Amino acid sequence: MQIHRAKPILFIVTGLSMLLTGCSISDWYNGYYVERSSMKKYLRDVNAYYDAESPEMKELRKKNRAYCFDLASKPENRVVEKGYENRVFNTPMYISCLEERGTPTYATYEAKQEEQRRTERRARGRNSS
């Protein structure tokens, strides 16, 4: 009677150990979990940045996005990239167009904030790293 119970338990334990050796907990935590939580934080910050704008700024951003998108996707402004015969969307032009027209993207805002923090650290005499 005990032998019959031992076989399924042994089979389950062996199967679980084989499954867990292929993917350790640290790999899951450092890969999947951290990536997911950092993405959630980034999206929360992006949404907070855009939601904090005034209605006039949101309307201006909507107009600027349409204008800059059309400008950056024109055939003469597209970027040549290997493997794409019709060229690709000109992202740098799009971002600089939005910035010049007074509606920078969140990434531009974040980069400026980081540069400001570096400048403040240098002014206080700390290392810029």
- Most confident region among 1-10, 16-25, 117-126 by mean pLDDT: 117-126
- The answer to whether the CB of 90 falls within 8 A of the CB of 72 is yes
Most confident region among 17-21, 88-92, 102-106 by mean pLDDT: 102-106
Residue 46's pLDDT is what?
94
- 73-87 mean pLDDT: 83
| pLDDT score for 22 | 62
Q: What pTM did the predictor assign?
A: 0.62
pLDDT, mean over the chain:
84
Contacts of 107 (CB under 8 A, 6+ apart): 95
Mean pLDDT of 43-72: 94
Task: Classify residue 119 as exposed, middle or buried by CB count within 10 Å of its CB (0-12, 13-18, 19+).
Answer: exposed
User: Is residue 4 predicted with pLDDT exceeding 80?
Assistant: no
